[in-house]
A and B are shown apart, each in its own frame.
Chain A
């Protein structure tokens, strides 16, 4: 998300799935699309049928590779080196799209003299603080064309936000994600050199940064032969120009790394240099893994953001509404209206109680001051700092890495509410988990009180999912849920109602936010199910006349408008639920604008102003999409223009212009403060303005490019329950990756319980190469045991040439193991849980864990049972020089537990 947000201004897929059919070349990397998004994959098939080249880059040969024209196996965890190699190829051979790059990117921007690149500091950028392990990014900024913050309504306050923004408690609070719709704030537009020759231009810095990422280096780091690299480079560059476009497709194979956001940044740089963003058949297709992952960040249940990617107020920075908006007020771009979006949200939540006099109840919002993400919270649970936990359709003891640590967290709560369809493992850990078998947990020692609350299925409630291309689709309710099963909407609405009744009459100021909350939703039916339609209308927002708004441009900062999520404004335009539209595909154009509704403002392809040249003419007839109609004085074309409809292509902002008026007619990236796609990110990414190859936290290979082995800002959560395998350890000599199967869904609660699916994929297995099988004496169809510093698990062995050892140029052979992560002990199809093997180390931008690459040992046979399992793993830790993983009562720190300490509850 921050990868796309910081590059282009919005954290969403730039194009739509059907548009893949318009591609001339499709590169799928970090995704097994045919397996995990099989129905979406039909559009790759359409492209292939029209003659497009399909390239699959993946450590494993998969169902996607089988359809591709070329499968490129690379060593897992090396995508930045590979993509950096392509960037170097494009720059050194002048293969970039010159006019596009000059007009629509920040290539010409000048960067501060103080910036020092990682090439000159052996893997570090300027500004690193070894104590907090964070960067001060002041030196990364642009050379400003005007005094910093001079365009701001309150320059002093904006500068103060810049200063406090460097505090580690802010750095650890995932600010980058707040650029999900509106790029990171910058203090001023940069000085430019449109010839791109000045050594301080982004273009020249980029050239120097990737100069050593040669085909030979790619071979050494990734294990890709130079002739294969050349083939990929040729197909990609020959299909990226005025007439042709290349699309890149990724999924969690990229995000789940210690440098995950930077993977996506590297791809963004490459696709921007090639001129593929905002054009049909181009773009970056982010494939989300669940029905409404995109929706769950747009309207987040995430600690660091509010709906519409407004940041959660930070205690250090945002004590008033004025301070909260100071980094945006008066600035160029649509983020310049941040105050209107925020005031409309506050009005939606607190209605008449939010007034100009009380700062629109801004003070009602709780403040964050650090990392409050889910893994940190699990560690806090083990330390007895958290009383109660709601699990709402999530099964973390199977679906999240390090199941053992997760179970210890749950075992130290006062109470746990689990809302699900089936009796999932996260609800039964107290009597059936692997730690019951080892004796580390027992029902008699676990005080956690558990409520299992049955949930409604997708056909038993109404509401919207936001799918992978930012499109909301409404579902009607087909039948009532059985017995006590209820929708989550019902649960939270009625819980809120009961809590408000309990506190009615309270004069404690702490209770005002709850008592003043707008919470009157119409209900219907015997169970008094609240109306999701009414909630969607609140999300959309209303104007002074009480009518639904049709665009966020109507939002005001004076309290006269409401809107629960500004980027979804328009989904209820004209008092019509636009997400429920179902005009058949055959009755409308290829863009299918009347099926569902996409944010923002039903624009199906983002940044589509860039599908035309700076003068507003299509780059070519073949790739015509959105263009300027001089006679009509407006932008027109197949899609809703992602640009102000009547802003001329030759518009130049007058001095003192603000918000969108400060963007020129060629500033196609309208959510960015400078209107440009960012090749170089002067802000918004905490681990570097340019992606740099680091080895994974758990790697068997030494970093060939820099002395710094792994991302210096990676976040760790140390404890006996989260030990790390040392890099280049002979004890853990193999690389492991995890993945999904078509026939199962994530933690399995929605698939291992279904007979059809359990029959199709009946047991847990691991994929190993014939070479590794021979090396370790593994037999196809027999059991093997995998061991890490966390635990040991067993699985059936699948010996296959689909995974192959990677031979590096120095002769080192890297063996890779693949394992699907769907299994655990409940349901029809059962097995050990792959995620139990994995540790938790986190991308500092996103707090997403690195589970697409780790290390382990593999040996033939089944794992030890009972307490012997603890001794078995402890012996591995001892041999690898890792601290003990033994725990005390319920997983607490052994010393403290022995001393009778533990939960502070």
Chain B
């Protein structure tokens, strides 16, 4: 008898007719599968405090991580500025970090090449270092036409986005200045 009752109750129409939800908009429509669903935020291994990377309001984010993967990103209600809210971009930021079209390996295009090639990260770093030193040498200026000290290179330029961290901007400006590179710019100019 219990088995029959369980079988009958698994049928939404039965629950609609006998329960408190005649229109089937709530409890009656919930299947066993639905009952078994638990939110990703509840089963995450940890919650990490972060900040949205899009505009400059600086909405606080809670990043939910399970098995070392980001499973959800939500607004942090503790923030005095955003009070837990996120806009469409902030709400889509999980797609930003888990995007299947992200390029996660080094790609190389040789001069006059027609296709990308693969390259090891370490090899690429060494090749870039070679080129930085050569470009620095080619563009080096000790003095201007009137003998004033310049101590710089015009061979290397850089343009950063404004999603760079302060710490990143700091190391960039420090390294470039020590190299003598001055054409160092940022989206902040734009």
Contact B162–A535 (Cβ < 8 Å): no
Contact check, B128 vs A496: say whether CB atoms are below 8 A apart. no
| Cα distance A538–B171 in the bound complex, in angstroms | 11
Contact A302/B165 with A366-B177, A492-B172, A755-B95 known, Cβ cut-off 8 Å: no
List A695-753 residues whose CB lies under 8 Å from chain B. Answer: 742-746, 750-751, 753
| A74 touches B (CB below 8 Å) | no
List the A side residues contacting B26 at CB < 8 Å.
Answer: none
Interface residues on A, range: 35 or more
- A468–B58 contact, CB under 8 A? yes
* Residue of B125, B132, B156, B161 with most partner-chain A CB within 10 A: B161
When the two chains form their complex, are residues A475 and B54 in contact, meaning their CB atoms are under 8 A apart? no
B-chain residues with CB within 8 Å of residue A427 when the two chains form the complex? 107
Let me know if A582 and B185 touch, CB within 8 A.
no
Q: Take A388-B155, A417-B128 as given contacts and tell me if A463 and B168 are in contact as well, using a CB distance cutoff of 8 Å.
A: yes
Instruction: Please tell me if the beta carbons of A449 and B111 are within 8 angstroms of each other in the complex.
Output: yes
B149 contacts A by Cβ under 8 Å: yes
Interface string of B68-82 (1 = CB under 8 A from A): 111001001111111
Q: Does B31 count as interface, using CB distance less than 8 angstroms?
A: no
Q: Are A499 and B132 in contact (CB under 8 A)?
A: yes
**What are the 10 A-B residue pairs with the smallest beta carbon separation, nearest first?**
A467-B58, A463-B165, A393-B161, A366-B152, A290-B162, A387-B135, A592-B80, A585-B80, A288-B56, A584-B78
Chain B residues lying within 8 Å of A849, measured Cβ to Cβ, are: 190
User: In the bound complex, do residue A415 and residue B131 qualify as a contact, i.e. CB atoms below 8 Å apart?
Assistant: yes
B138 within 8 A of A: yes
How many chain B residues touch the partner (CB < 8 A)? 116
* Given A303-B185, A459-B97, A479 contacting B70 (CB threshold 8 A): yes
Which residues on B are within 8 Å of A, measured CB to CB? 48-60, 63, 65, 68-70, 73, 76-83, 85-93, 95-97, 99, 101-114, 116, 119, 121, 124-129, 131-135, 138-140, 142, 144, 148-190
When chains A and B are docked, how far (Å) is the Cα of A813 from the Cα of B176? 51
Closest Cβ–Cβ distance, residue A400 to chain B (whole Å): 6
In the complex the two chains form, is A394's CB within 8 Å of B159's CB?
yes
A292 pairs with B162, CB closer than 8 A:
yes
Contact B88 A756, beta carbon cutoff 8 Å: yes
Q: A291-B51, A392-B161, A454-B104 are in contact. Are A365 and B177 (CB under 8 A)?
A: yes
CA distance A303 to B183 in the complex (A): 6
Known A479-B68, A514-B178, A753-B99: A39·B85 in contact at CB below 8 Å: yes
Is the beta-carbon distance between A301 and B158 smaller than 8 angstroms?
yes
30 A-B contacts (beta carbon < 8 Å): A17-B57, A290-B54, A292-B162, A296-B164, A301-B158, A301-B188, A302-B188, A315-B144, A363-B151, A365-B151, A367-B152, A385-B154, A386-B157, A386-B183, A387-B131, A395-B161, A423-B103, A452-B116, A453-B124, A459-B50, A464-B167, A474-B49, A484-B105, A495-B132, A503-B133, A539-B170, A584-B78, A585-B80, A592-B80, A742-B89
CB-based contact B70/A459 at 8 Å: yes
A710: shortest Cβ distance to chain B, in Å?
A: 21
A267-304 vs B, CB cutoff 8 Å, 1 = contact: the mask equals 00000000000000000000111111111111111110
A476 touches B134 (CB 8 A): no
Q: Are B157 and A389 in contact (CB under 8 A)?
A: yes
The interface residues of chain B lying within 8 Å CB-to-CB of A539 are: 166-167, 170
Task: Report whether A499 and B129 are in contact in the complex, using a CB–CB cutoff of 8 Å.
Answer: yes
- Least distance between A858 CB and chain B CB atoms (Å): 25
Q: Which residues of A contact B129 (CB under 8 A)?
A: 495, 498-499, 502
A316 interfacial contact with B, CB 8 Å: yes
- Verify A369–B101 contact, CB threshold 8 A: no
Chain A residues whose CB sits within 8 angstroms of the CB of B154 once the complex forms = 380, 385-386
A550 within 8 A of B: no
Given the known interface contacts A303-B182, A366-B177, A394-B160, the answer about A479 and B69 at a Cβ–Cβ threshold of 8 Å is yes
Q: Does A477 contact B (CB under 8 A)?
A: yes
Known: A303-B183, A366-B152, A377-B185. A465 touches B102 (CB 8 A): no
- Which residues 415-431 in A have Cβ within 8 Å of B in the complex? 415, 417, 420-423, 427, 430-431
CB < 8 Å neighbour of B106 from A315, A363, A453, A580: A453
Taking the closest CB of chain A, its distance from the CB of B15, in whole angstroms, is: 34
> Do B167 and A301 touch across chains, with their CB atoms under 8 A apart?
no
Instruction: Tell whether A451 is near chain B: CB-to-CB under 8 Å.
Output: yes
A496 touches B175 (CB 8 A): yes
Nearest-neighbour CB distance to chain A for B66, whole angstroms, equals: 10
Q: How far is the CB of B39 from chain A (nearest CB, A)?
A: 18
Instruction: Digitize A768-795: 1 where CB-to-B-CB distance is under 8 Å, 0 elsewhere.
Output: 0000000000000000000000000000
Neighbouring A residues of B91 by C-beta, 8 Å: 756
* A364 close to B (CB within 8 Å): yes
Q: How far is the CA of A444 from the CA of B155 in the complex (A)?
A: 24
B114 in complex: contacting residue of A291, A444, A468, CB < 8 Å: A444
